[in-house]
Amino acid sequence: MRYSAWQILKEGLTGNKGWKPVWREPEPKAEYDIVIIGGGGHGLSTAYYLAKEFGVTNVAVVEKGWLGSGNIGRNTTIIRSNYLLEGNQPFYEHSLKLWEGLEQDFNYNAMVSQRGILNLIHSDPQRDAFARRANAMRLSGADAELLDREGIAKMCPFLDFDNARFPIQGALWQPRGGTVRHDAVAWGYARGADERGVDILQNCEVTGIDIEGGRAVGVQTSRGSIRAKKIAMCVAGSSSRVAAMAGMRLPIESHVLQAFVSEGLKPVIPGVITFGAGHFYVSQSDKGGLVFGGDIDGYNTYAQRGNLPVVEDVCEGGMAIMPMIGRARLLRMWGGIMDMSMDGSPFITKTDTPGLYFNGGWCYGGFKATPASGFCYAHLLAKDEPHEVATAFRLDRFMRGAPIDEKGQGAQPNLH
């Protein structure tokens, strides 16, 4: 069924009896061309683009829990393409372009809202760094502007411009950045993939990866064994656990990142504001809640919850830069598990085992990458060669001395 205003009107007049489940609940087949492990945002977008762009429809997405139960529903919904390095920025700009056409493309309301993203500047060196970043962004075809204090004050008069420790000197502004309704992204991709014949298998946990003669040939799951010509891992957060089933060790640690939402407020925050110096960023959802977060807790964990010191740190950061939120009450907080890679950049790559592919290492930047990650992974799976904007995301880049060290911090996974 194609969704449209006409459809809503028709269903409204006929008692809403015509709406159908958005995807099927099929039984696993014995064999597929491609099995994607992980029914989160990236796995579902991979399946969608495989079917739609590359004509590969004999595909299963196997998901341990329910569809979209992981990080696609736990992130803070921000989209942007404000990266610096050659290996990264064209990829994220490709992703932002896909976001811009996404709702028309998959005929689903994902509430893509390009309300802009503001990265605050507090010192001359930081302005120089952001000017360089803005130039890199524009070279890749993205939009970027440097704002002065007056420019920011027009948009965000409530900020503490004369903060004693971090006075606001300016900002990097990307008007095309914004937010997206994250659950709808999973649902939209799932519907689009399902319509084209992809089997989405929920409550189907992968318990083993079958390797015969050095080649990956199938997976063992809680719903039986499934053979496949190609197996695509796509389980950021748990990548090390799944890769271990194939005997792989990864350049990844798993960490928890917490997110927070306040009670609903009238519209006060126009776009996304990041206060990197204070480990705080915020946007306001369409429902009115302030959605905010900060840094990872900093210790290895697979528990989807964090600890209180980071809650305090994040709230202090918020109070420092926008004291007006002091009376707002915290409504909910939660944690998601991140693949923290050794250079802060992701992987979309083949592995040493033929037939086995790997997508992961998204650190805490996976949501904005969802469309391009799926697109480029689908390209790799269908053609066995990387998409032109994702050639740098290889597993062997540390061995070759070619890390993509966006922050310039080296092999230190708990910093990114």
Establish if 161 lies at the interface with another protein (CB under 8 A). no
Residue 235 half-sphere exposure toward CB, CA atoms < 13 A: 26
Q: Which of residues 317-346 bind another protein (CB under 8 A)?
A: 342
Give me the least distance between CB of 293 and another protein, in Å please. 18
Instruction: Return the residue of 45, 71, 119, 240 that touches another protein, per CB under 8 A.
Output: 240
Establish if 235 lies at the interface with another protein (CB under 8 A). no
Q: List the beta bridge partners of residue 259.
A: 293, 334
The residues near 263 (Cβ < 8 Å, ≥ 6 apart) are: 289, 328, 329, 331
Sign (positive or negative) of CA dihedral 89, 93, 95, 96: positive
8 Å CB contact between 178 and 271: yes
8 Å CB contact between 353 and 414: no
**Which two tokens mark 347?**
């992987």
Establish if 409 lies at the interface with another protein (CB under 8 A). no
Establish if 295 lies at the interface with another protein (CB under 8 A). no
Give me the least distance between CB of 110 and another protein, in Å please. 32
Instruction: Return the residue of 222, 264, 299, 323 that touches another protein, per CB under 8 A.
Output: 299
Instruction: Return the residue of 252, 322, 338, 369 that touches another protein, per CB under 8 A.
Output: 252
Phi, psi of 123 (to 5 degrees): -155, 165
In whole angstroms, give the CA distance from residue 172 to residue 416.
Answer: 20
Establish if 407 lies at the interface with another protein (CB under 8 A). no
In whole angstroms, give the CA distance from residue 127 to residue 148.
Answer: 10
Establish if 258 lies at the interface with another protein (CB under 8 A). no
Considering beta carbons, is residue 96 or 333 the nearer one to another protein?
Answer: 333
In whole angstroms, give the CA distance from residue 237 to residue 235.
Answer: 6
Considering beta carbons, is residue 123 or 409 the nearer one to another protein?
Answer: 409
Residue among 173, 178, 146 at smallest CA distance from 80: 178
Q: Which stretch binds another protein (CB under 8 A): 105-113, 166-174, 196-204, 250-258?
A: 250-258
Establish if 251 lies at the interface with another protein (CB under 8 A). yes
Give me the least distance between CB of 398 and another protein, in Å please. 4
8 Å CB contact between 96 and 142: yes
Judged by DSSP in three states, 239 sits in helix
Instruction: Return the residue of 301, 351, 370, 373 that touches another protein, per CB under 8 A.
Output: 301
Instruction: Return the residue of 264, 309, 323, 408 that touches another protein, per CB under 8 A.
Output: 309
Give me the least distance between CB of 345 and another protein, in Å please. 13
Residues that bind another protein (CB under 8 A): 238, 240-241, 249-254, 298-303, 307, 309, 342, 398-399, 411, 413-414
